[in-house]
Each structure stands twice: as C-alpha cells, then as structure tokens.
C-alpha cells in the first residue's frame, strides 16, 4: 500500500508538472500506472488470502475492505495521471494557454494525495475530514471554471483545460473517498457524523 501511494504521488506530480511545463511523459506515466495496477492485484490476492486463512473479525474485515478500496483509488490516480499526460501529448504545444486554474488545482490535488496517503497510513480521522473539505474546494473551482471555458478564445486550450479539470475533479473525489474509508475502518461508519 505504501509503495502504491508513493507511485501514485510520483505519477500525478509527473503528469501535472509536464502538462504545465510542456513536456511529454505519457510513456513514463503509463509505466507507473501499470505498476500500480500490478500492485493492486497483489493487494487483492493478499486480502483474499487473509480472509481465507485468518477469518477476520468485523474490525479486521473493515481494514481489509478499506485496503481494497484505497488500493483501487491509487490505481485511479495512476490512470488519471496517464490521461493527463495523454492530453498534453495529443494537444501538443499548449504554451499559449493560461492554465491559471490548473496551476491552482494542481497544488491542491498534490496536497490531497499526500493527505490521503498519510491519512490511511495513520488512520487519522482529522485528516480524513480535511479531505472532504478539500474535495469541496476542488468541486467549487471545477464548477466555476468549466463553464468559463466555453467563452475561451482558443478552442484547443479550452478543450485541453476542460479535460484536465475533469481529471483533477475525479482525483479529488477518489482522495475524499479514501478519507471515508479511513472513517469506516476507525468508526464502522462510511459517512462522517
């Protein structure tokens, strides 16, 4: 799980930085994304093995289930990072694009992934709640800026930014869900009270 977290963070950082700096990294993000998928399969096998061998009690089962959910979230981070790098590769030179909201949300997304990793590693409920608050912020940016792209002077920039904004919004959703998984492990409840 720890390796999946660090690979997810590396992949997201690489994709976002390359998008904003105009570099092509889709081969690297694809490789890392596939590595994360391989680790996801290992987590699935281990959790199945733990259920069969040890007959876990309810609290153990919640942890096992949450490990599967969180590891799936890591695979989504890798896939969205790859998708972002493909946008950069597909659209080519985006230096004329302003990308202000992408810059802002990139920092927030990187923070959320770090927080999700820490949250799960320590089962910290305060960090888990913070992820929900951060996800609400990302949604506000998304809902405010996506319609503004309709009036963009450059179709290429508007399309590229719309795609990346959507991927960032989905990443935020998965990070917030990881926080809910932590709440489930600790309290047995999916939603925060």
The CATH number covering residue 59 comes to: 1.20.58.220
Alpha-carbon distance 77 to 170, whole Å? 9
**Does residue 141 belong to any structural domain of this protein?**
yes
Based on the number of CB atoms within 10 Å of its own CB, is 189 exposed (0-12), middle (13-18) or buried (19 or more)?
Answer: exposed
**Residue 159 structural domain:** 2-187
Provide the domain count of the chain: 1
Domain assignment present for residue 193? The answer is no
Does residue 108 register a pLDDT over 80?
yes
Domain assignment present for residue 192? The answer is no
Mean pLDDT of the chain: 92
Q: Give tens-digit pLDDT for 42-57.
A: 999 998 888 888 777 8
- pTM for the model stands at 0.92
How far, in Å, CA of 117 to CA of 81, rounded?
A: 16
What number is the average pLDDT over the span 69-97? 93
Task: Return the pLDDT at 99.
Answer: 81
Per-residue pLDDT reduced to its tens digit, 142-172: 999 988 888 888 899 999 999 999 999 999 9
Taking phi over 0 as left and psi of -120 to 50 as alpha, with beta for the rest, 189 belongs to beta
């Amino acid at each position: 799980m720890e390796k999946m977290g660090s690979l997810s963070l590396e992949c997201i950082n690489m994709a976002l930085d390359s998008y904003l700096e105009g570099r092509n990294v889709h081969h690297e993000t694809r490789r890392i994304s596939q590595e994360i998928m391989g680790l996801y399969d290992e987590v699935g096998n281990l959790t199945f093995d733990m259920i069969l061998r040890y007959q876990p009690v309810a609290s153990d089962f919640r942890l096992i289930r949450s490990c599967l959910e969180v590891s799936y979230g890591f695979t989504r981070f890798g896939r969205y990072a790859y998708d972002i790098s493909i946008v950069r590769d597909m659209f080519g030179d985006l230096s004329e694009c302003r990308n202000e909201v992408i810059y802002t949300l990139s920092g927030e997304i990187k923070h959320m992934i770090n927080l999700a990793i820490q949250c799960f590693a320590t089962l910290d409920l305060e960090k888990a709640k913070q992820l929900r608050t951060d996800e609400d912020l990302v949604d506000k940016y998304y809902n405010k800026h996506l319609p503004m792209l309709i009036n963009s002077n450059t179709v290429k920039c508007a399309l590229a930014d719309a795609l990346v904004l959507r991927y960032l919004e989905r990443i935020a959703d998965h990070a917030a869900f990881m926080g809910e998984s932590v709440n489930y492990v600790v309290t047995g409840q999916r939603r925060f009270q």
